[in-house]
Chain A
Amino acid sequence: DQQVKQNSPSLSVQEGRISILNCDYTNSMFDYFLWYKKYPAEGPTFLISISSIKDKNEDGRFTVFLNKSAKHLSLHIVPSQPGDSAVYFCAASLLHAGNNRKLIWGLGTSLGVNP
């Protein structure tokens, strides 16, 4: 059962336009969400995060929106650049087995930004 879903395996946008990557989750116990970017042959790198008490977090060209009622979050990249071409992973964190935390990952969306 995939608790964190990234329904679009791939996305292609033009340089300078907005990229919107979506992520849906099923467990209302998730209280912290993160986005990671991964280039080929490298490990994922942290991009931006959001706590469930917020509905928006912005960092430069990257903004994450959280809609708790819809159990949906999205990552907006404006403007998109060719260097943004990578696989983007959505991850959600929840308390698990006492005081431990667990991160559940989506399958990723491959973003291609065309010059």
Chain B
Amino acid sequence: KAGVTQTPRYLIKTRGQQVTLSCSPISGHRSVSWYQQTPGQGLQFLFEYFSETQRNKGNFPGRFSGRQFSNSRSEMNVSTLELGDSALYLCASSTWGQVGEQYFGPGTRLTVT
């Protein structure tokens, strides 16, 4: 079974720009969660999508948004990038969501200059 894939793996953007990250979950998984990882803050939950609906949301500003398509693939968008948005963005897929084991992709390393 293919694992979770994330594209692109690395990205450099300028402050004020927007960015879209993509996540393809494991086949059959309907839940996709997004996390931001920074050195001092650990894994911060952004949101979770299940069957194309946002089911859970973390405490991030509205500049962070996402969506999920009918094939369970998910995208995350960050508008008006700030320097503090530089982080590793991780996507995780699972069968049921935030209750049990999640399978993580390798992440997208976003650098905002």
Contact = CB atoms under 8 A, between A and B. Distances in A.
Interface in A53-79: none
A44 B97 CA distance: 16
A15 to B, nearest CB: 27
A93 interface: yes
B51 to A, nearest CB: 13
A89 B43 contact: yes
Q: Would you call the interface of chain A mostly helix, strand, loop, or mixed?
A: strand
Given A105-B43, A107-B42, A44 B104 contact: yes
Given A32-B99, A34-B101, A43-B104, A96 B56 contact: yes
A93 B99 contact: yes
Contacts of A45: 104
Contacts of A34: 100-101
Interface string B98-113: 1111111111000000
14 contacts: A36-B104, A43-B104, A46-B101, A49-B100, A89-B43, A91-B43, A93-B99, A96-B56, A101-B56, A102-B98, A104-B45, A105-B44, A107-B40, A107-B42
